[in-house]
Amino acid sequence: MSELASIQQTIDEEKVKLVEMARAIYNNPEVGGQEFFALDLITTYLEDKGFKVWRGIGGLKTAFMASYGGEGFHIGYCSEYDALPEIGHGCGHNLIGISGVAAGVALAASLGDMPGRVSIIGTPNEEDEGGKVVLVNSGVFDDVDAAMMFHPGCSTSIHVESLACRDYRFIFHGRSVHASTDPWEGRNALDGVIQTFNSINAMRQHLKDDVRIHGIVSEGGLAPNIIPDRAAADFIIRARDSRYLGEVIEKVVACARGAAIATGTSLEVTESGFPYEAMVSNRVMADLFAESLRETGYALDSPHDEGMDSIDMGNVSRVTPSIRPMVAITDQWVPGHTRKFSMLCDSEEAYNIMLTVGQAMAITGHKILKDIELQKRIKQEFSAVASDRI
Ligand SMILES: [Zn+2]
Ligand SMILES: [Zn+2]
């Protein structure tokens, strides 16, 4: 039997169980850090398939690594399984999780005597804290030679990049007084916030096109007749290039400092959340995936490049060659993180795409493991491109 037929056969044999697991995760949505049901379900299945499993890796209780094979090039499939509060699987991580499992199991079954290691890496808490950032910082990806995952969407894009991203909080401290009787004695912290927004808006015309700055007033005072002595704004700042992002952040912080001077308030600046790096999609791997997806019979017509959001896979792409294609589960435009999108993630069409993508990722992995020249090209591109973008 050919290698591709063997991969197809494993997917066919495991199809019922794989869809059952994706459906079970859909019906038991767990928010980031609490995905114990999904962890148990997936790792028990993988142990049953002969994988060696390590749970709670990288300091994250619901993360895992499941490996098959031995020495040689190490392929890692990232599996997400966290849900959104209230909405459940409105980002389709039930599909991501099991497509990675399908790919890993099918590639493992096709290995034969070929050297190489196949892993499924359980990367929890993507929505809330970017679990992959923690796992990358803990060295979990250090011995992974190529990493892959897919994300369901409304269109198909093979070469997906993303923006580096930082979260900032500006807290202004002023002086409260009666807003009508002695306003001249007050220092209005809310004015500090408003002035910050105005200065950032004035700065936008001088920024490069890929920069995104978006904020909210998170604290704006207690009542209109009290001059606020405390106000705060939360901003997310993004750009394609991490170095340029650093420059933009300095400018944004300067806007807040200027606002504090202008309003006679004092400013506290804190960085919150984990820094997301921009995704660098490996072209050699992305082209291989596109070719493999076509080999499954999927009609892939002229996919476009994409990537104006921020994803924790970006951090993975800085330490190992990576791809994170988006594959459509609908031909309608349905916004992500909504109940409507969640419903799509439990459809027959979505589960078929999950299996097709799992098969294509397994074929991609197989092609890489059997071709040392391909392995070299993947690593050469990574060294040339990823290191240049840090
Ligand atoms: Zn999401
Ligand atoms: Zn997602």
Ligand 2 centroid to Cα of residue 269, in Å, is 29
Q: How far is the CA of 247 from the centre of ligand 2 (A)?
A: 28
222 alpha carbon – ligand 1 mean position (Å): 33
What's 168's DSSP letter?
E
* Smallest-distance ligand from the CA of 335: 1
Supply the pLDDT for residue 304. 76
pLDDT digits (tens, 9 = 90+) for 317-369: 999 999 999 999 999 999 999 999 999 999 999 999 999 999 999 999 999 99
Contact 18, 98 (CB under 8 A): yes
Q: How many CB atoms lie within 10 A of CB 114?
A: 14
Return d(Cα 302, Cα 221) in angstroms, integer.
Answer: 52
CA atoms within 13 A on the CB side of 242: 14
Amino acid letter at 225? N
Strand locations in 210-261 (E): 212-219, 230-239
Q: How far apart are the CA of 153 and the centre of ligand 2, in A?
A: 9
As given in the structure block, the two tokens for residue 163 are 């923006």
Cα of 185 from ligand 2 centre, angstroms: 49
Pick out the chain residues at pLDDT < 70.
Answer: 1, 386-390
CA distance 97 to 101: 7
Task: Round to whole Å and give the CA distance between 336 and 253.
Answer: 31
Would you state the torsion angle of the CA atoms of residues 7, 8, 14, 15, taken in this order, to the nearest 10 degrees? 140
| Closest ligand to the CA of 96 | 2
Closest ligand to C-alpha of residue 78 is 2
How far does residue 94's CA lie from ligand 2's centre (Å)? 10
Ligand nearest to the CA of 313: 2
337 CA to centre of ligand 1 in angstroms: 6
CA of 163 to the centre of ligand 1 (A): 15
Domain ranges of the chain: 3-161+278-389, 164-276
**Helix and strand counts by DSSP (H, E) for the chain:** 12, 12
Q: Which residue has the tokens 């896979």?
A: 313
Nearest ligand (C-alpha, residue 123): 2
Residue 355, helix vs strand vs coil: helix
CA of 66 to the centre of ligand 1 (A): 24
pLDDT in tens, 260-284: 999 999 999 999 888 999 999 999 9
CA of 127 to the centre of ligand 2 (A): 7
Q: Is the pTM of this model over 0.95?
A: no
- Residues facing 175 on adjacent strands: 187
Angle subtended by helix axes 283-295 and 372-381, to nearest 10: 130
Neighbours of ion ligand 1 (CB under 5 A): 91
Give the ligand at the shortest distance from the Cα of 87.
Answer: 1
How far, in Å, from the CA of 151 to the mean position of ligand 2?
6
Answer CATH for 164-276 from 3.60.20.40, 3.20.20.70, 3.40.50.720, 3.30.70.360: 3.30.70.360
- Specify the CATH class of 3-161+278-389 in words: alpha beta
Query: What's the pLDDT score for residue 374?
Result: 97
Distance 337 CA to ligand 2 centre (A): 8
Q: Which ligand lies nearest to the CA atom of residue 127 in the structure?
A: 1
Q: Which ligand is nearest to the CA of 151?
A: 2
Q: What ligand is nearest to the CA atom of residue 153? A: 2
User: What pLDDT does 279 receive?
Assistant: 94
- Can you read off the two tokens belonging to residue 86? 């209230």
Calculate how far, in angstroms, residue 127's C-alpha sits from the geometric centre of ligand 1.
5
